[in-house]
Amino acid sequence: MLPDHQSIAPSVLYFGTPVVLMVTRNRDGTANITPMSSAWALGSCVVLGLSSAAQGAVNLLRDGECTLNFPSAGLWANVERIAHTTGVNPVPSHKAEMGFVHESDKFALGGFADQPSELVLTPRIAQCPLQFETRLLTSHSSAKQRHGASSTHLIMEVDILRVHAHRNIVVPGTNHIDTAQWNPLFYVFRHYFGDSVDLGKTFRAEH
Ligand SMILES: Cc1cc2nc3c(=O)[nH]c(=O)nc-3n(C[C@H](O)[C@H](O)[C@H](O)COP(=O)(O)O)c2cc1C
């Protein structure tokens, strides 16, 4: 490629990661959905980046468990329906200023159905073809505290206890995800992307 780059200062650095719907349980036992995208797999763990102001982070720290639910691209409008909400009540002032409102039932608002888990008390989201049951391993604060901010970023590592995949995205008779069928939703510089094209596989791919 020709050396034709510019130095820029983007206000958003979300370069493109899958959307994850993290479900946690509130103190009263009801379930909350936290849409997030700062997440990646590391061996049998997933590393999550969460604002300490998110209800999901508070619940995960208290209960030590969550489910991670991966929506397919077709669910982007359902995700966006709950994007402006928080389980925190009252809404923190910095979020209220951005237009966030409190919502105690994000399942109903987003048109999602809950599905019981097998190893944890936290439910899954039935419409998500891929779901992980997890338990919290570690959590620490990001070294970079935003100046004057009332919240910080938490980096949380969760252990995957069980993986559930809809039969439509599993290669029959195997433990492999059928990547021709799995169409994850991505969050790229605050836009939703989907329908990704399979360009080829790495030398370690088993399927
Ligand atoms: C697609 C998408 C991705 C997001 N990614 C993150 C993220 O990675 N970490 C985070 O703390 N918040 C993220 N957010 C913002 C949270 O969803 C938002 O703060 C929400 O109010 C949290 O809900 P809760 O307070 O009920 O947990 C994202 C929002 C959307 C719509």
Structural domain includes residue 199: no
Structural domain includes residue 3: no
Structural domain that includes position 72:
17-193
Distance 35 CA to ligand 1 centre (A): 5
Residue to mutate, 37, 63, 68, 156, ligand 1, most ligand atoms under 8 Å from C-beta: 37
| pLDDT at position 147 | 59
pLDDT at 185 over 90: yes
Nearest CA to ligand 1 atom 3: 36
CA–CA separation, 72 and 140 (whole Å): 30
Structural domain includes residue 32: yes
How does pLDDT run across 36-51, given as a tens digit for each residue? 999 999 999 999 999 9
| pLDDT at position 143 | 75
Going by pLDDT thresholds of 50, 70 and 90, the confidence category of residue 1 is low
Structural domain includes residue 36: yes
Question: In this prediction, what percent of the chain has a pLDDT beyond 90?
Answer: 90
How does pLDDT run across 121-180, given as a tens digit for each residue? 999 999 999 999 999 999 999 877 665 667 799 999 999 999 999 999 999 999 999 999
Contact between 103 and 56 under an 8 Å Cβ cutoff? The reply is no
> What is the amino acid identity at position 1?
M
Question: Strands, DSSP E only, in 87-152?
Answer: 101-102, 114-115, 124-125, 130-141
Average the pLDDT over 94-104 and give the result. 96
Structural domain includes residue 201: no
| pLDDT at position 3 | 86
DSSP label at residue 48: E
Structural domain includes residue 73: yes
CATH number for the domain spanning 110: value is 2.30.110.10
pLDDT at 203 over 70: yes
How does pLDDT run across 66-84, given as a tens digit for each residue? 999 999 999 999 999 999 9
CA–CA separation, 177 and 174 (whole Å): 8
Contact between 23 and 69 under an 8 Å Cβ cutoff? The reply is yes
Nearest CA to ligand 1 atom 4: 36
Contact between 26 and 32 under an 8 Å Cβ cutoff? The reply is yes
| φ, ψ at 159 (rounded to 5°) | -95, 130
Rg (C-alpha) for the chain, rounded Å, is 18
| pLDDT at position 146 | 62
Domains identified in the chain, total number: 1
- Average pLDDT, rounded, for the chain: 95
| pLDDT at position 177 | 97
Chain-centroid distance, C-alpha 32? 12
| φ, ψ at 203 (rounded to 5°) | -65, -20
Structural domain includes residue 1: no
Structural domain includes residue 156: yes
Atom of ligand 1 nearest to the CA of 38: 8
